[in-house]
């Protein structure tokens, strides 16, 4: 099991719904109408996966920080 996850937000894909910031305010904020992670690398937390899976345009990715394996969104 991974001990660290890397959060990415594609600012070109993000449409600014703020679902991620509402779901996981301790991990995401809105900047200029777009989502941004508060930290690039985080301790694994279910709420981060919930935020990524809730994004209607799949702008958020969660990857294993050690091997870059995609964790969310699920394909």
Question: So where are the chain's domains?
Answer: 5-65
Q: How far apart are CA 34 and CA 40, in angstroms?
A: 16
Per-residue pLDDT band at 1 (split at 50, 70, 90): low
Q: How far apart are CA 63 and CA 41, in angstroms?
A: 9
In the three-class reduction of DSSP (H, G, I as helix; E, B as strand; rest coil), residue 53 is classed as helix
Fold annotation for 5-65: Alpha-Beta Plaits (3.30.70)
| Mean predicted confidence (pLDDT) in 10-19 | 97
Q: Are the C-beta atoms of 60 and 52 separated by less than 8 Å?
A: yes
Q: pLDDT tens across 20-70, in order?
A: 999 999 999 999 999 999 999 999 999 999 999 999 999 999 999 999 999
Residue 40 buriedness (CB in 10 A; 0-12 / 13-18 / 19+): exposed
**pLDDT > 90? residue 75:** no
Q: How far apart are CA 55 and CA 58, in angstroms?
A: 5
């Amino acid at each position: 099991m991974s001990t660290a996850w890397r959060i990415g937000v594609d600012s070109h894909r993000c449409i600014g719904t703020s679902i991620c910031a509402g779901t996981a305010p301790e991990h995401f904020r809105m900047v200029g109408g777009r989502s941004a992670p508060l930290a690039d690398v985080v301790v694994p937390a279910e709420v981060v996966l919930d935020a990524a899976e809730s994004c209607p345009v799949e702008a958020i990715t969660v990857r294993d920080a050690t091997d870059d394996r995609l964790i969310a969104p699920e394909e």
